[in-house]
Structure formats: C-alpha cells, structure tokens
Structure 1
C-alpha cells in the first residue's frame, strides 16, 4: 500500500524500482505471527522436549488420571481449556504421541505407522498415561506454573521431564523462516549415553527408527544442519523369483512404498510381475519377478529408483529462553541430562525439607505429650495464655531441635485429640523419629553424591522400562547404487550411420542394443571425432558413424584401439586410450586436428584386448617393405588427445585384423548369479575370482562333460551344471563314476589338455553315471557299502583319491573302486594343501573419472606397461 508522499512511477517515464516501507500493522503483526508460530506451535522446548500442544495434552491427561482409560474425545475436550486451537489439532497431536508407544498407554485403533492407516475417531479410542510417563514426566512440587490463555486456569511452563524425551520421540515442525527435524533415537542407548556423560566419558548417539530398516549415518553430522541420513528398506530374496520387504525406511509406509515401486515399473526403470502386501503386525511385501530377472540386480534397482532408499536431512532446532537455538543431538543430550540432575536435586531438597518438617513436629509432639505440657493450659482462660503456657512448657526440652518453635507449631499441638494423647506410645513415636532421621540422612547422602544418585536413577529406568526397546534400525554403510547398471533396458537404440543419427525412434534403421532413457551413448565417426550424448528419440552426432554403443560411466576397462591418417596425405599414427572424463554433447577430435584426417582402423575392446593387425602399404617409389604386423599390446594406453605413435609416413592401402588379442588390463573380478544363471561384474552372487585375459572358466555338468571357456557376461549355462570355477590348468580333476557296461565303480584323475574343447570323461553307456567330482588338490571320499544277504555290512571306507590313483588322460577308464555292492559315495572335506601362488607382473591402476557437465575433465592416463 503506497502512502501519501511516496514517489509514483510516471507512465511516460522509464520504469524505475520503487521501495515502499511497510508501517503500522504490517510492520508489527507479521513479526508477532512469526514469533508465535515458532514459540507456541512448531518448535519443541529443550527443557522438556514438548511442543505447547503436546505439553497441554500431557497436563490434561494428568488432570484426568485415575488409573483407568479415558475417551480420547474427553481428553481433547479437557485440553481445550488450556489450548487455544481446535479439537482436530489436539487429536492429531495426541495420536502422534500415542503411536510412539512411550508416554501414552493406548486402547483401540490408533492407526498403523507401517501401513499409513489413520486412527479411528477420537470418540472410539481410549488412552491413559503410561507408567513411564507417570514416573519421569510429572512432579507438581518442582513445576513452574503460568496462567492459561484465558486466565481461568494454570498450566505448566515446562514439565519436569527427567529423561531425554525429545531425542527418544524425535520432533518435526515447520515455522516461519525456520524448521526443525530431530530424528528419534533408541531408548536404551540414550540412557547409556546419559550415564556416560555423567561419568565424564565420550558418547555417540545415532537415530533408531520405529519402522526399523537400515540406516547409513556416516553423514549424520550430529543431527545438525547439513547432515544426512540415508535409510533403506530391508529386502531379502525369498526364492529365485520373489523378493520380500520386511522393514521400511523411516518416513514411508507400505502404501507409499508400493506406489513408488509401481510407478518405477510403469516407467520401465524396474520390471516386476506383481506385488502382494501381507502386512499386519509385521511388514511383509512380496515382489514377484518375471522369469530370468536377477533378484540381486532388482534389489539394487529398488534402492535406485523407488522409495526403498531415501535421504533424510536432520535439523536440530529447539526453543531455549524463548529463542530458537540450533544445536546437535549430543549437546541436546548433555543439556537434558544436566537438567535431569538439577530436577533430581530439587526433588531431593523438597523431600529433605518435608522429612525435616515431619521430624520437627514428631519431636515436638513427643515433648508435648511425654512431658505433659498440655496440663499447663488447664487454668488458662484466653487463647494468648494457652499459646504462652505451651511455649513456656516446651522451652526446657527443645534445645535439640533444628529450628525455633513457631506459633504455628504450637497451634498444631493444640489440635491433637485427647484420644491420641491417651493412646500415645513413646517407643513407637521414637521409632518414627528414628525412621525419619534415617531418611533424612539418606537424602543428604544423595545430595552429597548427586551424580551417583543420577546414574542410579538412569540405571533404574533402563532396568524397569528398557525391556523390548532394543535397537530396531540396523546401522550399516551403504555403497552408492549406479543407476545405469541396474536400470532395465526397456527400449532399443538404433543408428543411421550414413546420415549420422542415433536414437530410439529410428526403427527402420540399424539396431544397436537395448538401452534405457537414463543412458549415455558414445559415438565415433570416420573422420576421427567422438561424442557422448544422452539417449533421445533422435540425435544428430555426425555423418559416417563407425561405432556406437551405450557408454558406461566410470568404465576403466573399455579400451579403444585406432590407427588414423593425419590430414589428406600425412603420416599415419596408432594410439590406445579409454574414455573416463568428458563433457556431454561436445565433439572431440581423436586425430591431430588437420583437415582431411580419417580413421584407418578402429576397435572397441570391453576388457582391454590388444589385437594384432597387418599394415598393407600402397606401391609407391622405392618402398621395400609393403606389409608388416603391429601388436596393439606394444602400444601404451594414453589420453585420447595424445598424438599416438608413428606407423608410417607412407600411404596405407588397408589395415587387416590378423589375430584377436587378450586383455592387457589388471584382473577383473567376475561373479556368478545363480538365480539367473549368468556371469556379471557388478558383485551379484558368488565371486568366481579375478580373471586376466588368458584365464578360463572350468565347467562340468552332471553328464560328465567338461569344458573350458573364456568368461563373458553373455554366456548361458545349463541347469545340470555342477562345477563352475576359475580354471587352474595344473590342478587335476578327480571323479568317481559308475561304469554301466562293466557294472562297477571307477576312480579317475586327469588334467584338461584341450582348451575350449567339450569332452566327456564318463563312458558312453545308458547306465553310466557320474557319482562325485572334485577339483580339490587332495580330495577325500567315503564309500558306504550296502548290506548283502548272508553277510555282515562292511564298515565305511575312506579313500584319499590322490593316493588311490595317479593322474592319467581324460579318456582313461581309471582304477576300479571296489567289487562290493555300494550303497552311497560321499565327498568329504579335502586334506589341507597349500596351493602354489600364481606370479604375475604388477599392473598399474587406471584412475576412476566421472562424466562432468559444463567443463572438460583431465585426459591424463596411466600406462599399463
């Protein structure tokens, strides 16, 4: 609102910025409103951990407490005497407290934090204070009071909570200009931390969530601004085609979690068959997978693309002295513990005063009756005379009292009934005084050893209320899930090489591979340029494409080998490089940059293979050598911008592939995923070992067929496979088989001599069968004999197969095991053997680099030779 005297903008003049200062109600009311929301609604007080509405609910429940359940509607109505807002806000706040299962003993349908179901109407559910709340929250004698909002009643300024309640329950609120998010912590761990603080020891506290789950608290930052907690659902594999979620990440429920999974499935990020929600008292969400889909990979995809993993940003903000204060959870615990100590001290001091007062009057009463001081008032006619007579009669006997006798004390003595005087028992009176003296001495001892008393107090709380409150959330460090590795390839990538387009909508052109909408595509063209771009429906990347593929982020194993001509008639160079750092949608020149340059040879090698090529020159002049071989293994791996090594200054006619190469990189770890019967390099399933370029896999099936193969993630395996491991050419294979033709058992040991060839080591007969096979150095077997009619059963026989037979050829029959009738043959644990170590030249690491947006990364590479 522009007031008189303010400058106005003339429509004919150029626009200018005008600042109008607010006055009157605008100046004051907003600040008042902001302060009110911060102090009276959204942010809890550090003293007791309650927001105002929560404190008023707890106070009202104490007002109504008679040990029985009260209707929540009744409690809400009673709270409205203290709280200036409506019943809905009170009922919602009360349900939230009740669902935390700490302060309120609930009855009826209070909702379910696991499923997200709401509570029944407040007229249908009941509540009363829990024993824990009655023990630690209330003490009217040490409570400070203030007038309620309408001045008719008194309410507590803060409740004397003697426990770190704020950290146990957590708190969340959004005010004006600030917010708070204090995560819940474990009941037992908070008590133990409080004890450590009192003992002067260091402590660490981390969140514990009622929905359980798994949490990575490495970035918790003590619950202060800038911290982060990553939470995950607990997912396990029920069988090959079923996953089960049994615990939820904090901040979600089964409904929201299932919705996020269904949305990810609709978008093609994951692939599922159906979901079943069997949640009741415990979470159970069954995720059924289509056949052939890896459960391990799907678990990672659930973490990457659904609410099964989320990040929580804590923010420790509390109210202290009517001002917001930002502190960490450790400091909150220290202040809460120190406050508890002071409250315990106040309570002891009040009790001490009460016991000393009881002792004082008990002593006066004994003096008054035992010395018959009451007879001194028989002849007094005035009240003043009575008071003076009693005071005079007491004087000779009150020297041991701890304070002076007041007129109020004397008045109380006059109120003692004759019946009590007549039945007065001196011994019982003295016993009462002695008991009071013991209690006074005990309280004084506690005050002198206040820290020990506080530790004993916390220890009692843990013993009485700690059962069943063990940690629910598992603390574990998470590895980041690479979304590009676990996303479902739900679309197809095509290329038009001649015109230079790549994309998912070019269905009439050449199919490249399956991809997803979050993938990057790497493209090489004939003129020596390279580009990486996001998958899209249609993207122009440059004409005469010679190679296109999905780009793998942080891929340090794919090596590109190329030979290029520098300019139209310049010399030719050879180079090897990998691509680890680029700027998207930027064209990179892989040649020396001269016009007319072109690639003469190119290969992309997913495991760093180095092939041998033949160089053929054009006949020109007096060139003597027109043909020779080059091994890419002799070329150092450098940056993509390097010039490369000179091949020849003469014109090359063509480059031919002579021999495929093996990997020149460090060994690669390979796993086998039994659920989908596939190899992978992503850490899913059983680790088979570290493989170099020349290493092979050994495969044996139940039919007795053995072969060695080069490991490849595209390999398929039969269901009757019984051995899959890294092949050691020096380690023999031991087998016991039944010879169907001779109807006897035989033992054989052999080495594989024909790499890559599929061979059978069991005779071809319909009754022949393989009993056991072992790839151990010193295998042991046990033979159980069948009982033959008229004969005693023979004892089991243990056989050292290495001693039983020497190594022979794979086609040898082997040695006869026994002529007796065999019931069963078992493979035992092998004898200890120290396997000889393989010695390899040390390879240097290739550094990980990321794709960056907006700037070019470092091209430096480390030689692998």
Structure 2
C-alpha cells in the first residue's frame, strides 16, 4: 500500500535469510536437544528430569511420587516441550531392558520387552536410583557451573559431575540436523578397568583398551558374534556396527525330537514383533522347515521354535532364522557427542574415556578448592572463638557494659566482623571448658584436611591416585557381570530358499485376460482346454513347472516381473488377476510367461526388428515393480521372448512383410538390459516372430489342423544372410500367421 510504513522491512535475499535461520535451528537441535554430552552422557531432557526429581527429594530411600508431578515440574520450569516427549524420556530411564543401569526407579506399568507402552503418567510413580544419585553427587559442592533456565526464574546445572561413566555405560541415541548418534551400552566393570588403565597409561593403544572393554554389554543379553578386529576397528574410528544375535539353544525331547529355545533376544527388538515375524514366515510358507512358534515367557524370555520334522538340521533352521528375522540385528555405533566446549564430533573409545577422565579430574580439583574455601571460612570463625575463650572474662565484661560491643571487641582482640558476630551469637552453654577443647580438635582436623587438599590440587599424581581409588569404590558398589557374551561367528550363509519349498509338480495357466492359476500335477493339453473360463476369456499360456520354480512374466513395455511358483493361486474357480501380484498397468499387454533358470538363455526381440540374448538370471526381479529389460524406441514394443535350446547355433526371423532371414546366433550380443542390435531390416511393418534353433537339423513348423503334422526345411541356404538383411519369402507351406510355433 502507498501509505504503509516500510521502515521496519529489511531487504535480503530469500536464500540467505532461510540459510541463516535454518542454521540457528540446526545448531540448537545439535547442541541443546539431540546429542549427549561426553561428560555425563545425558541429553538436556534427561538432565532436567533428574534435576527436577532431585529437587523434589525423590531419593532412593524416600517415597515415590506421581510421574505427572515430575513431568509438570520439568516442562514448567526447565524444558518447555511436549509433556508426552518428556514422559517418554522418563519412561526409558526407568526401563531395565532399555538401560543397562536405570536412572529412574519406576513403580507401575513402565512398558515391557514385548513392546507395550507405559501407562499414562497419572498412573505411574517414580523416584531416583542410587546410580542416579551417584551421577548427581557433588552438585552442591561447586563442581559445575549453573545457568539460568529458559525463563530466568530458576537455575539448572550445565552438566552433572558425578563419578559414573554414563555415556558408555547406558549408551545413547539421537538424530539431529545433519548428524546422529548411536552408542550401545557397556559393562561398568570393564569401563572402570579401562579408565584405570588409561590413568596409568595415557598413551595406551586402542587394542589394549579392547582387551578390557570387549564390546557392548546389552541389558537384554544376547550374543555378540563379531570378531576382535571388527570390534576394534569400530571403537578406533567411532563408527561401525555390531552383529548381535539372540541366545538360542537346542533342547532335546524324549523320543528323539528337539526344539529351539530362545532365552534372550537382541537389544531393542520387541518380543511381540519378533514372534509376529516368525509367525508370518510360517504363514507365508517361506520357511517350511519351521512348524510353530510358542511364547512361554514369564519374567524371563522363553520362545519355543518347533521344527517341521526331527530330521531337520538345527543349524540350517537357525541360520535361516538369523537371515529372515530379527534374531540377528546390526546395532550401529556412531560415537558422535558434544565435548567439553559443546562442540559435536565423533570420538573413539579412547578419546571418550580420556575426555570423561579429564572432566572428573576437573571436578575433583574444583571440589577441593571449594572445600578449602569453606575450611578457611570455618577456621576464621574458630580462631575468633578461641580468642574469646582465652579472654572470656573481658569478653563478658564488654558485652555487659557496652551498648555496641562488636566494634570494641574487634579493636581490642583484632577480630574480623565475622569473628565478632560469631562470638556474640554464642550460646551460654557453649562457654563450658569442654567446648573449648572440641573447637581445638576441630581446628586441628580442618587444618590437616586443608593441607591434604592443597597437596591434592598441586599434585596431578595425587589427583590420579585419588580418582583411581574412587573408581575402585564405584566398581565395588555397582559393578556386575557381563550379560552379553562374545562368541565369534561367521555371517549367516546364503540359503537356497528353493530348498525350503516342498517341490511339487504344477501346471501354470494364464488366460487371455491375464487371470493366472496353478493346478497340482502336470495336465495334458486337452485337459487344459476343458477347464472353465470367465465369459469372453480363454487359454493363452500354459506349461508344466514345479512349486520351486521362478516364473518370469514379460510385458510389451520391456519390463519383466518375477512370480514364485509356490505363491500362485490355486485352480479353484478362475484363479486371480496376475496384476494383483505385480505392478503392471491394465493397458500393457503380456507377451510371455515361462519358468526360468539362472543359467538358461533367452532370445528377446522387439517389434522394430531389434533384439539380443539375455540370461535367465538377468530376468529375475525382486520387487513388484519388476525391472526394465528392453529399452524400446518410441512406438516399439516387445514382440518375442523365447528360450534358446542348449544346442542352438542359428536364429530365424520373419517380418510382417512375410520375409525371412537366417543368421548365426553368435552375431547377437548377450545383454542384461538394452535395445539390442538389428535382426532384420524392414521397409514396411515390423518383426513378426523369431526363434533360435540348430541349423543342421533344419527349421520346423506345424502344418496346422488336428493332424499334428510338422514340416522341416533342412536346406536353409537361400535364407542364410548376415544379421540385419531384408530376407526373402519363406518356404512353401509356411504358416500364414507368420509364426514359427
């Protein structure tokens, strides 16, 4: 508008403004939400949860309080985000199957290993665990800095100072902007031993540390099957992945039978999802050697896997389950954390431990300095009290005779204001002689403590010794045995899945309108003709196959789709539209359907007279969308797909102009995908049919009618030419439909 005030409008390029604002958001997400701090291993939401619970006095020995109270304090004072996200973070801190060393002691339904959600926060109660108290130990001793909360009304610690390696002990995961973190949990005893080793040998090699920290230690147990070199490489680079398997044993039954018992499942895999995966395999008949899965779990996981027969190889069944289900997973390692300067970066195991130890040394020094300040304050007061006891009668006289005794006392006995105030605040009962002796002993004790602290601050060696002693105490109190065992095993081998399918003969039948069905057994041609068809439909393609076969469907648009013989609908009724199994548009025609073997060869030709040879393996596709096999020119389509006999050495091609050419099969290239080369040149029309055959046996074709007679032309020299020739009229008696078969 002309009269609008535009003085507040700043002209700037849109991309610059967007980049600047997005960068601010990204940095906020990285440093204040998604990545843990290497010093205490916590994200801000977890730190604020524990801090709020501490202020609510939810000590391990105290009573529980409603989780809603905790969540309310957190989002109201420290973390202005959604209540559900805060409660979800709190729930995870209480789950003993999610955290190796839980920081919250929950009462009520906090979810389970099946994957069920926790109850609403109005129903559950919580308090802190002893480990959480250890993580926050020292907050009142000046060991860390505090900062104002988002509204400036409260204060919160920037980091927790407690002596507990939470980052590696409990792990962390998070997704920021442009970076992520994924740290598995570890065993506290191993971490403490590694930390002590680094204190004594700061230049220790990474392999030395992996001799101590053998690998992740998940709360749900399981078996780590990577070799030592793989684990070491992951810890050295800070990036990698660990192969984790369920703990499975073979239990023998009376009578010679057996079943598999799953007693521990991989970390982070809901038990219900795992059972659903296995049950789906059985329902889809993708693992015929498995008969049933039963859940007999109580507090301990107990899954029973029944084989189809006692003759099934247990190792084969187990390898199949590892490949097809989450009985084996890969847990990623991405040790991306914030260092002491709040800078994100990927650390190695050694770097993370050294950073944590450096922080603990800093905490130790800061605690000692704050304690010295408090001791000095107390010693000042004690010196004043001792001066009063030495001149007790004069002190009493001054207090009785003077209206303002403090200035006179300070002048006469050289006291500070604090000392004089302490004397005036003494109780009469403190004038007993025993009190004077106690003050002397306290003064002597404090002077000794101060001397030890001063030596500690000045001596890095003393600091390391003290830290080692504290770490040993930590291990004795909270250390435990490893739950995840390490048993090196090879990657699950490739399984011939066709061997899992019961091999049965079938007859595959495809109708003209694209309805497909499979009948048990190998039917004769007259039996197929007698089948029932939908009105206006009829037979198109039928052939004998096995349930273990893979079928390739070739479409006129150059795409090829794969169907499994054992997944075809039964012959009850009219079958089902083949387009239900693949993503094939209704306007695209079906050219060919046949059973393929990986080692077979196929002749593929398009309507414009181009073609090539491809392998059966090259036609197999893994998705419903299939794969592009033939790159067609505008207006072109796939006209012919035929298997090439093993003994074939020649190709015969006939066009719509009824001219035929014969040339050597070796002139055609073998391609996995492409347009191919020119087979025959046309002035009008296009390719009608093509076939590969053995030249010395001649070219055969049916004479038509019901006699079943076949004519063979052995002398093909008149039609022999180089690939791409125009050709000449076919032999007398060649079918009028221009088809070889």
Which bracket does the TM-score occupy, shorter chain normalised?
0.5 to 0.7
Distance in 2 between the 1:268 and 1:513 partners?
12
Q: How does 1:86-485 map to 2 (within 5 A)?
A: 86-99=82-95, 100=99, 101-112=101-112, 114-138=113-137, 139-140=139-140, 141-200=142-201, 201=204, 202-204=208-210, 205=213, 206-218=215-227, 219-220=230-231, 221-222=234-235, 224=237, 226-239=239-252, 240-271=257-288, 272-291=290-309, 292-320=311-339, 321-372=341-392, 373-375=394-396, 377-378=398-399, 381=402, 383=404, 386-395=405-414, 406-422=416-432, 424-444=434-454, 446-447=456-457, 448=459, 449-466=462-479, 469-485=480-496
Return the alpha-carbon distance in structure 2 between the equivalents of residues 296 and 353 of structure 1.
68
How far off its partner does 1:311 sit? Answer: 1.6
User: Cα distance, 1:144 vs. partner?
Assistant: 1.4
Give the Cα–Cα distance (whole angstroms) in 2 for the partners of residues 216 and 520 of structure 1: 37
Given that 1:162 and 1:343 are in contact with CA atoms closer than 8 Å, whether structure 2 keeps it comes out as: no
* Per-residue deviation, 1:451: 0.5
| Structure 1 residues 488 and 243: alpha-carbon distance in aligned structure 2, compared to 1, 3 A threshold | farther
Query: Structure 1 residues 30-39 or 372-381, which shifts more?
Result: 372-381
Give the 5 Å matches for 1:488-527. 488-490=499-501, 492=503, 508=522, 514=548, 521=597, 523=599
Distance 2:348 2:519 in 1: 53
| 1:710-734 Cα distance to aligned partner (Å, 9 max, x none) | xxxxxxxxxxxxxxxxxxxxxxxxx
The aligned counterpart of 2:80 is 84
Q: Residues 279 and 292 of structure 2 are in contact (CA less than 8 Å); yes or no, is this contact kept in structure 1?
A: no
The answer to whether the 8 Å contact 1:224/1:314 transfers is: no
Task: Specify the SS of the correspondent of 2:14.
Answer: coil
Deviation per CA, 1:464-515, whole angstroms, max 9, x where unpaired? Answer: 112xx3211111222122223466432659899xxxxxxx999746768956
Within the candidate set 35, 38, 44, 1:43 is matched to 35
Which SS does the other structure have where 2:78 is aligned?
Answer: coil
- How many angstroms apart in 2 are the aligned matches of 1:470 and 1:520? 55
**Which of 629, 645, 660 is equivalent to 1:543?**
645
Q: Does 2:79 match 1:73?
A: no
Q: Distance in 1 between matches of 2:173 and 2:307?
A: 37
**Partner Cα separation in structure 1 for residue 361 and residue 671 of structure 2:** 60
Match of 2:500, SS state, is coil
Distance in 1 (CA, whole Å) between partners of 2:486 and 2:498 is 26
TM-score by length of structure 2 reads 0.63
C-alpha change, 1:268 and 1:224, in structure 2 (3 Å) is farther
What CA RMSD, in Å, does the superposition of the two structures yield over aligned residues? 3.8
- The 8 Å contact of residues 381 and 418 in structure 2, kept in 1 or not, is answered as no
What is the deviation of 1:289?
1.6
Q: 1:199 to 1:329 in 2, by over 3 A?
A: same
Deviation at residue 252 of structure 1 after TM alignment: 0.7
CA distance in 1, matches of 2:641, 2:266: 40
Q: CA-to-partner distance for each residue in 1:194-245, whole Å, 9 max, x for gaps?
A: 1111111442232111121112344341175651211111122123342111
Distance in structure 1 (CA, Å) of the matches to 2:369 and 2:190: 29
Looking at structure 2, the residues matched to 597 and 430 of structure 1 have their Cα atoms a distance apart, in angstroms, of 122
Q: How does 1:666-681 map to 2 (within 5 A)?
A: none
Structure 1 pair 487–327 and aligned structure 2 pair: CA distance change class (3 A): farther
CA contact (8 A) 1:212 1:472 kept: yes
1:717 aligns to what? Answer: none
Asked which structure has the greater RCO (Cα within 8 Å, sep 6+), the reply is 2
Partner Cα separation in structure 1 for residue 54 and residue 91 of structure 2: 17
Contact 1:274 1:287 (8 Å CA) reproduced: yes
Map residues 559-570 of structure 1 onto 2, 5 A cutoff. none
SS class of match (1:273): strand
Q: CA deviation at 1:301?
A: 0.4
Give the 3 Å change call, closer, same or farther, for CA 76–95 of structure 1 in structure 2: same
Q: State the Cα deviation string for residues 414-459 of structure 1 (Å, max 9, x = none).
A: 2223332245543333232233334334434544411111001011
Question: 45-54 or 26-35, which moves further after superposition?
Answer: 26-35
Measured in 1, the distance between the counterparts of 2:239 and 2:506 equals 45
SS at 1:227's partner residue?
Answer: strand
> 2:220 and 2:28 mapped to 1: Cα distance?
33
Matched with 1:34 is 26
SS in structure 1 opposite 2:323? helix
Q: For residues 744-782 of structure 1, give each alpha carbon's deviation from its aligned partner in whole angstroms, at most 9, with x where no partner exists.
A: xxxxxxxxxxxxxxxxxxxxxxxxxxxxxxxxxxxxxxx
Is the aligned partner of 1:57 residue 2:52?
no
CA distance, structure 1, for counterparts of residue 178 and residue 469 of structure 2: 42
**Structure 1 length normalisation: TM-score?**
0.54
Shift of the 374–210 alpha-carbon distance from structure 1 to 2, 3 Å rule, reads: same
Determine if contact 2:225/2:486 at 8 Å carries over to the other structure.
yes
Distance 1:60 1:542 in 2: 76
SS at 1:483's partner residue? coil
1:471–1:379 CA distance, 2 compared to 1 (3 A) = closer
How many Å separate the matches in 2 of 1:160 and 1:54?
A: 14
Decide whether aligned partners of structure 1 residues 487 and 336 sit closer, same or farther in structure 2, where only a CA change above 3 A counts. farther
State the distance in 1 between where 2:647 and 2:163 align.
Answer: 74
Comparing both structures, which one devotes a greater share of its residues to helix? 2
What is the distance in 1 between the residues matched to 2:620 and 2:322? 25
Once residues 66 and 449 of structure 2 are traced to their aligned partners in structure 1, the CA distance between those partners, rounded to angstroms, is: 40
CA distance in 2, matches of 1:332, 1:107: 34
- Residue 146 of structure 1 and its aligned partner are, at CA, apart by 1.4
- The answer on whether the counterparts of 1:376 and 1:389 sit within 8 Å (CA) in structure 2 is no
Structure 1 residues 170 and 524, CA gap change in structure 2 (3 angstroms): closer
Aligned residue pairs total 518
User: Does the CA contact (< 8 Å) of 2:91 and 2:118 recur in 1?
Assistant: yes
Secondary structure at the aligned position of 2:617 is classed as: strand
Alignment partners' CA distance in 2, 1:131 and 1:520: 65
Offset, 1:132: 2.1
1:363 positional shift = 3.1
Structure 2: gaps (5+ residues)? 1-11, 508-517, 523-542, 551-563, 566-594, 602-612, 622-639, 649-663, 665-669, 677-693, 698-741
SS in 1 for 2:482: coil
Provide the rounded CA distance (Å) in 1 between the counterparts of 2:294 and 2:504.
Answer: 34
* CA gap 1:524/1:160 in 2 versus in 1, 3 angstroms: closer
Matches within 5 A, 1:683-762: none
Contact 2:39 2:167 in 1 (8 A): no
Compute the displacement of 1:358 (Å): 2.3
